[in-house]
Amino acid sequence: MATETETRPWERLREFANGEDTVGLKEFLSSLEPTEAVRAILRLDTDSQEKVLTTLSPAEAADLIEDLPDEQAVEIIENLEPADAASIVTEMQSDEQADLLADMESDDAEAILREMPVEDATEVRQLASYDDNVAGGLMMTEFFKYEENATAGDVLDDLNARADNIDDYFTHYAYVISSWGKLVGVLEVRDLALTPRRTPLAEIMAPAIFVKAETGLDELKGFIDRNFYAAIPVVNRRGSLLGVVRRTAVQEALAERADREMLRMQGIVGGDEIRTLPTLTRSRRRLSWLSVNIVLNIAAASVIALYIDTLEAVIALAVFLPIISDMSGCTGNQAVAVSMRELSLGIVKPFEVLRVWLKEISVGLINGVALGAVLGGVAWAWKGNPYLGLVVGGALALNTLIAVSIGGVVPLMLKRAGVDPALASGPILTTVTDIFGFFLVLSFAALMLPKLT
């Protein structure tokens, strides 16, 4: 079935890690595609990971760490000696440094910060104080700034002098600040080439469009959608320039959020699972969600227990209970997905509950009748009893209406309440639709019992 023997780069990497051939190790790693390298690193044990990272130069190790999923990057860095970890972290871009350290245990982060150059450490501490998903948490602090009375020539000379040392800088723009330190304008570095050297920056700069450090990810998305800038300057309340958020950083943060949302909707919570994590950790995290779910399931199914006499009288209903439960879940999930997407595109607002509900019941009505007719027809055909068809089909039709209503509306209400809709929409949906579905089919059956037996 599997053809795993085709390539096993992590086994070769492990051999290198256990051997002494450091040149071979470096060459082998750089021969791998980035995702291959990530795959290989993740499958090593902790000791081999440490060996690999400390064999590479700190800059090479930093590149590798930046490619890893966040949680694994944190774990690997935490396992290193603080001094080694500090050497690697120091080589990372400031926005990546802050992300990494903010996700660590604070003791581990402190130990690493103490080993870092004081200036870097201070900067990282400040960046790490912002939330991950605001401009302050996404910005980098390596950028060019000049006072407004400088000239184009001054800037070119300065850039020239620093040319060997600007790898980590954001080099598309230079920012112009007033003598009070406030952001007043922006220059495209490439435009300087076309400008007489003596021109004061104030004459050639464009007015700066900026965001506050507290600006959230959705607003930043709006900003990059509207503007073509490769980066957005970030200012504090006084208007002083703190850093720049690259377009790329915003897009990465959006992708990570979408990724996390997908995992949560499917019941992976408490951390983004990867199968190289220890079995017990994976099991515990998955159980944390499943244990809530089993309680909700038992609660919903206890509705059936209330109608055990009806069920005993019309045992065929037992076949249809799981179908109604499943189908209502599917129908409701479609509505959840559309609401989640419309929320994330910003084309529906959390307060538009009524609008979404009206849009959902119109679809729910059509689909409910269609699905109810199919299931009712099957029930009728199976038992030759049209009333059984009516009970089963009617219950599914009504429950479809309930499912799309809940599925459409619950994500909006959770969002308004500040609860993650990706996490809670599913369990709420299936519990409520199960309860209503079981209740509808069994109470209809109880009412029509004489016709069914």
230 vs 424, which CB is nearer to its own copies? 230
The site string for its own copies over 77-116 (x = CB under 8 A, - otherwise) reads ----------------------------------------
Of 24 and 34, which has the nearer Cβ to its own copies? 34
3-class DSSP assignment, residue 183: strand
Near its own copies in 388-417, by CB under 8 A:
none
Q: Distance (Å, rounded) from C-alpha 242 to C-alpha 258?
A: 28
Amino acid found at 15:
E
Instruction: State the Cα–Cα distance between residues 430 and 325, nearest whole angstrom.
Output: 8
Rounded CA separation 394/67 (Å): 53
Shortest distance in whole angstroms from residue 71 CB to its own copies: 12
Which of 64, 51, 128, 126 has the alpha carbon at shortest distance from 91?
64
Q: State yes or no: residue 340 binds its own copies (CB under 8 A).
A: yes
Number of neighbouring beta carbons within 10 Å of residue 25: 20
Do the beta carbons of residue 249 and residue 170 sit within 8 Å? no
CA angle 145, 146, 150 (to 5 degrees): 165
The verdict on 342 binding its own copies (CB under 8 A) reads yes
Q: Pick the binder of its own copies from 59, 337, 424, 449 (CB under 8 A).
A: 337
Q: Does 448 bind its own copies (CB under 8 A)?
A: no
Binding to its own copies by residue 230, rule CB under 8 A? Answer: yes
Q: What angle do CA 66, 69, 75 make, to 5 degrees?
A: 90
206 lines the binding site for its own copies (CB under 8 A): no
Q: Which of residues 32-61 bind its own copies (CB under 8 A)?
A: 33-36, 38-39, 42
- Among 15-23, 135-143, 204-212, 346-354, which window interacts with its own copies (CB under 8 A)? 346-354
Residue 380 lies near its own copies (rule: CB under 8 A):
no
Q: Between residue 152 and residue 191, which ones bind its own copies under the rule CB under 8 A?
A: 156, 159-160, 163, 171-172, 188-190
Site residues for its own copies, 284-303, by CB under 8 A, read 286-287, 289-291, 293-294, 297-298, 300-302
At its nearest, how many Å lie between its own copies and the CB of residue 435? Answer: 11
Question: What's the 3-state SS for 398-431?
Answer: HHHHHHHHHHHHHHHHHHHCCCCHHHHHHHHHHH
Task: Select the span of 14-22, 45-53, 139-147, 223-231 touching its own copies (CB under 8 A).
Answer: 223-231
- What number of CA atoms fall less than 13 Å from residue 114's CA on the CB side? 8
- Contact with its own copies (CB under 8 A): which of 274, 417, 447, 451? 274
Neighbours of 376 (CB within 10 A): 22
Strand order in the sheet with 231-235: 211-212, 231-235, 241-246
Closest distance of CB 439 from its own copies, Å: 13
333 belongs to the binding site for its own copies (CB under 8 A): yes
* CB nearer to its own copies: pick between 25 and 304: 304
